[in-house]
Amino acid sequence: MKSKVEPLVNLNINPCKMCMPMGSATAFYGLKNCMTILHGSQGCATYIRRHMATHYNEPVDIASSSLTEQGTVYGGSDNLKKGLKNLIELYHPDMIGVMTTCLAETIGEDVPGILETFLEENPEYRDITLISCSSPGYGGSQYEGYFAALYAIVSSIEMSREKNNLVNVVTAPISPADTRYIKNMLNLFGINAILLPDLSENLDGVHDKEYNRLPHHGTDIRDLKRMGGAKLTLELCGFERKNSVAEYLQNTYGVPYIRLPLPVGLRDTDIFLKILSDISGKEIPQELKKERGRYLDAMIDSHKYNSAGRAAVFGEPDQVYSTVRMMCECGILPVVCATGTSCPELVEKAGAEIHKLGTRYLAEDFKIADKADFKDIEAMVTSCQANILVGNSDGRRIAEDLNLPLVRRGFPIHDHVGGQRLKMLGYEGSMEYMDEISNQLIDTTETTFRKTLYDKYYKDGLIGEKKKEEQMKAEQGMVQKNSIAAQEEVMRRKTLEHPCYNCKGHKFARIHLPVAPACNVQCSYCVRKFDCPNESRPGVTSSVLTPEEALKRYLLVKKKMPNLTVVGIAGPGEALENWESVKAVFELIREQDPDVTFCLSTNGLKLPMYAEELARLSVSHVTVTLNAVDPHISGQMYQYIRFMGKEYREDAAGAIMVANQLAGIRLLIASGVLVKVNIVTVKGINDHHVPEVVKTVKSMGCFITNIMQMIPVEGSAFERVEPISNKQLTKLRKQCEEIMPQMYHCQHCRADAVGTLTDDKSIELKEFLSEKPKESAPVSISYRFAVASKSGVIVDTHFGHAKEFYLYDYKNGEVRFAGKRKVEQYCAGEKSCGEKEDKMEQLLKALTGCNGVIAMRIGMEPKKKLAQLGIKPVNTYDMIEDAVKKAAAAM
């Protein structure tokens, strides 16, 4: 199945958040006689002023240190000091919030140090409280910036420890209207409180003929200094935070605290009022009980409409979480919850609420995401079939694109007036909020059902014309379906006949054509050998062919091997680094054989450049070696990579590899190419990370993954790294098989392999292909070798898989057969492989008197034991007689 091609980026396209200084500036605006200055470029301050002014519909003053290129290079302390002096002389504030930006943080400005120096140089300003707040744009969202400012405020002010009867109330970001609700409730219960921050007047003031540049309302500095002696702190925030004001006051001044979610909806407003009642010792007033009753009645009135609601909620974490809880109370099912802030707790907390309601509605499909992008949110809205959006006005483009209603809450709201007056707290605020959502659901039904009926039954005139049109569409659809079905049938046949993609396809043969010697990466586990007939592993070949020689070899082998169904290019280097040769081979063979299956193996570095071209060349199967999806882990798998004329190492290499590999895979799948992913597993580096790779490629639509054991190769960077055991490999494959299909029958084929997976003929066909191996010089000493072989002709068996060994004596250049020795198979599967020591001891006893053991592959542990007995282990893949001669020469 084809997938939509999505751009692969490591950044947000349209983030569901504002920058950190925006939240900090909002928090500082809740202080009385406080001004803020942004240490950075002028554009940052302009950006914040513009957004706050259009949302709150109030003038907003924010100063800037106006960092320029010179300040960036040589330091911006002079700019900041000058800006502070000008600000003080112009505004005469009691407090100044000094916020940093990306630029100031990146160049490493010591803002607290600069402020200390400023006060030393200007002692006349020591009565002004300077508050340093670290708020780089890359440090988080406006939500983190808001709490960073609150924490900076309380930690910068020296508070009195003298006990008082006050209650500190610290809120998550809420509107000025909701701030007024909190103040009204505190007054109603007779609680003397310090509210931090108090946005109720500064960002939603009354009409005044004269403009006050300095905010004259909000939390007074004298009250801030008394917070350390309060009897209690109420923190209205649904999530624990590392920079919690309540926790700071408890740890520093011993003030106990209670953390509550915002009082939105029935349950959380009940809890809030109960706490206020407990603090004050007063009963909940009758007027609030009546409000609760009206809210309950409103929930009953709207339940028949709300049950059809499938909502997508986005914004700041507290707004999203409280909205989800309120919706679940009144029967609206939130199917998408998203915040641009990093808030992993949202998944668990909101998920529990949604799951409970979803179970009643027999609906299980919902999505929750933090660090979300509006592009991701739109995709989730579509897949979960949401019918209403709730969040800030930045979601209006999704609403327009999908023709969905948008109920506006949160920050920013630029396209409507009154964002500062929108309420959601308390019984009345929740009722207004719920009514607005319910009415939008009713409007959607009322305004769309008639059009739906009209379009379906009456549009475009007579019923007969409608039927003709439907018939034509049906016929076109049938043709398209038939075409797709035919393509799928061809792909199904090719896959069944491809031995690497079908574990039951062993009767079909493949040929690897070694036409790609150049490589653009140096894997830490690989040594490429272009003139080596004696090893059986990827990257090894006896010779490198030209495209014309490759065509000749294919046609010769096809005559001798009619079951040959697949032509593959797997090296010995990187296929796409040798594009012209690879392309020529496919074109030459396709002219001669229109039905043969083409496949290719690649490291993926250049895959985005050639993925679509591979599809045009009818390459139906591509194997991508993807060892990690984490750039740091990927970087450890390569000594270096070469890309676009430059050499990269470590994390830089890993980042480029992962980005290109994933982008290339997406393009292949979108083009209808079947993708197998090889994962070379290296102990201590990526073995723990393999399931994450499998999950990633599964989500992209890959066909199968092949988790491979790293083969230590002499001369490679990982030659001394112990490979994972067969048992560990099988366990890992079984674990990942729960995610997607796994390949168990990989033979680690050479770049010039010929034949079926279980019966490679490349050695036997050498003479037929006029490729005679080099003769070894005779040795004058005599040796006895035990050879692992199934056929008795070729060294074609792994040491651990051998059930018998052929004994050969070598003397003065002659090789003579000396008999056979039966042994119990050392490695007979995951449960017994390498576990029974007595098996190994019996096998080693059977090799007594041998000078060497020749096998297609010998594991690290058997190699050590053989060496301890003075028996030389020899890995090779060759005719037995040739292998014995070469082993003797190497003794």
**327-367 pLDDT per residue, tens:** 999 999 999 999 999 999 999 999 999 999 988 888 878 99
Q: Are 334 and 321 in contact (CB under 8 A)?
A: no
Percentages (nearest 5) of helix, strand, coil residues in the chain: 45, 20, 40
In angstroms, the Cα distances linking 630 to 375, 582, 638 are 23, 30, 13
Q: Give me the pLDDT at residue 452, please.
A: 64
284-287-293 Cα angle (round to 5): 95
For a pLDDT cut of 90, what percent of the chain falls above it? 46
d(CA 117, CA 181): 42
User: What pTM value is reported for the model?
Assistant: 0.60
Alpha helical stretches, state H, 738-859: 837-846
CA nearest 202: which of 372, 61, 343, 368? 61
Give CA–CA dist 611/604, Å, rounded: 10
- Angle ∠(311,314,320) on CA atoms, nearest 5: 90
CATH class, range 506-755: alpha beta
Take residue 592 and report the two structure tokens written for it: 């001669």
Cα within 13 Å of Cα(883), Cβ side:
32
Please report, for residues 395, 426, 723, 743, 770, the alpha-carbon distance to residue 682 in angstroms, rounded to integers and kept in the order given: 45, 57, 6, 18, 38
* Confidence at residue 475, expressed as pLDDT on a 0 to 100 scale: 60
Paired residues of 623 in beta bridges: 601, 676
What gap in Å lies between CA 700 and CA 527, rounded to an integer?
A: 31
Structure tokens at 127: 């009565």
Instruction: Express each pLDDT in 703-753 by its tens digit.
Output: 888 888 887 777 778 878 888 887 888 889 899 988 888 887 666 667 777
Q: What is the DSSP letter of 760?
A: B
CATH 3.40.50.1980 correct for 20-260: yes
193-196 sheet: strands from edge to edge: 193-196, 167-171, 232-236, 257-260
pLDDT of residue 570: 82
Q: Which amino acid is at 32?
A: K
Q: Which residues contact 130 (CB under 8 A, 6 or more apart)?
A: 84, 95, 96, 98, 115, 118, 119, 156
Torsion region of 551: left, alpha or beta (phi above 0 gives left; psi -120 to 50 gives alpha): alpha
Q: Are 20-260 and 286-448 the same fold in CATH?
A: yes
pLDDT of residue 115: 94
Q: Pick from 546-555, 776-785, 795-804 the range whose average pLDDT is largest.
A: 546-555
Which residues are within 8 A (CB) of 845 and not within 5 positions of it... i.e. 6 or more apart? none
Residue 484 has pLDDT above 50, yes or no: no
pLDDT tens-place string over residues 653-665: 999 999 999 999 9
* Amino acid 11: pLDDT: 59
Distances (CA, A) of 651 to 602, 604, 630, 659, 663: 21, 17, 9, 12, 18
Token look-up 């009415």 returns 439
For the domain made up of 286-448, give the CATH fold: Rossmann fold (3.40.50)
- Residue 803: what pLDDT? 85
Which are the contacts of 68, defined by CB distance < 8 A and separation ≥ 6?
A: 41, 79
| Residues 32 and 221 sit within 8 Å (Cβ to Cβ) | yes
Q: How far apart are CA 420 and CA 413, in angstroms?
A: 9
Quote the CA–CA distance of 685 and 627 in Å, as a whole number. 10
Return the structure tokens found at 501.
């993609």
- Tell me what the mean pLDDT of segment 802-826 comes to: 84
- DSSP code per residue over 92-124: --SEEEEEE-HHHHHTT--HHHHHHHHHHH-GG
Is 141 within 8 Å of 20 (Cβ atoms)?
A: yes
Dist CA 47 CA 103 (whole Å):
15
CB atoms within 10 A of CB 591: 9
Inter-axis angle of helices 317-330 and 426-457, nearest 10:
70
Report the C-alpha dihedral over residues 688, 693, 695, 698, rounded to 10 degrees.
-150
Residues 114-145: pLDDT tens digits? 999 999 999 999 999 999 999 998 888 999 99
Domain positions in the chain are 20-260, 286-448, 506-755, 783-890
Q: pLDDT tens digits for 671-687?
A: 888 898 999 999 888 98
Distance CA 509, CA 330 (A): 64
- The share of the chain scoring above pLDDT 70, in percent, equals 86
Torsion on CA atoms 210, 212, 217, 219, rounded to nearest 10: 180
Give me Rg for the CA atoms of the chain: 36
Is the omega angle on the peptide bond into residue 197 within 30 degrees of 0, that is, cis? yes
Cα angle for residues 825, 829, 832 (degrees, 5° grid): 75
Are the CB atoms for 29 and 197 separated by under 8 Å? Answer: yes
- Helical pair 286-306 and 265-280, crossing angle rounded to 10 deg: 170
Compute the mean pLDDT over every residue in the chain, rounded to the nearest whole number: 85
Torsion over CA of 764, 767, 771 and 774, rounded to 10 degrees?
Answer: 80
Burial of 699 (0-12, 13-18, 19+ CB in 10 A): exposed
Q: Cα 870–874–879 angle (5° rounding)?
A: 135
Of 293-297, 451-455, 777-781, give the range with the top mean pLDDT: 293-297
Short-list 787, 870, 808, 765, CA closest to 554? 765
pLDDT of the residue at 746: 67
**Contact (Cβ atoms closer than 8 angstroms) between residue 407 and residue 398:** no
- The DSSP element (H or E) to which 598 belongs, if any, is strand 597-602
Residue 493 pLDDT grade (very low, low, confident, very high; cuts 50, 70, 90): low
Scanning 458-538, the segments in alpha helix (DSSP H) are 463-496
Residue 755 has pLDDT above 80, yes or no: no
Q: Give the single-character DSSP code of 425.
A: S
User: Which of 327, 336, 321, 331 lies closest to 261, judged by CA?
Assistant: 321
Burial readout 178-215 (b: 16 or more C-beta within 10 A, e: otherwise): bbbbbeebbebbebebbbbbbbbbbbbbeeeeeeeeeb
| Structure confidence by residue, pLDDT tens digits, 837-869 | 667 788 888 888 888 998 877 777 788 888 888
H-helix or E-strand spanning residue 523? strand 521-523
Instruction: Please give the class, per CATH, of domain 783-890.
Output: alpha beta
> How confident is the model over 387-440, as pLDDT tens digits?
999 999 999 999 999 999 999 999 999 999 999 999 999 999 999 999 999 999
CA distances from 112 to 77, 98, 108, 118, 140 (A): 11, 9, 12, 10, 21
In the block, which residue shows the tokens 């190994």? 840
Residue with tokens 């709201």: 413
Beta pairing partners, 373? 15
Q: Measure the CA–CA gap between 457 and 460, rounded to whole angstroms.
A: 9
At residue 520, what are phi and psi to the nearest 5 degrees? -105, 5
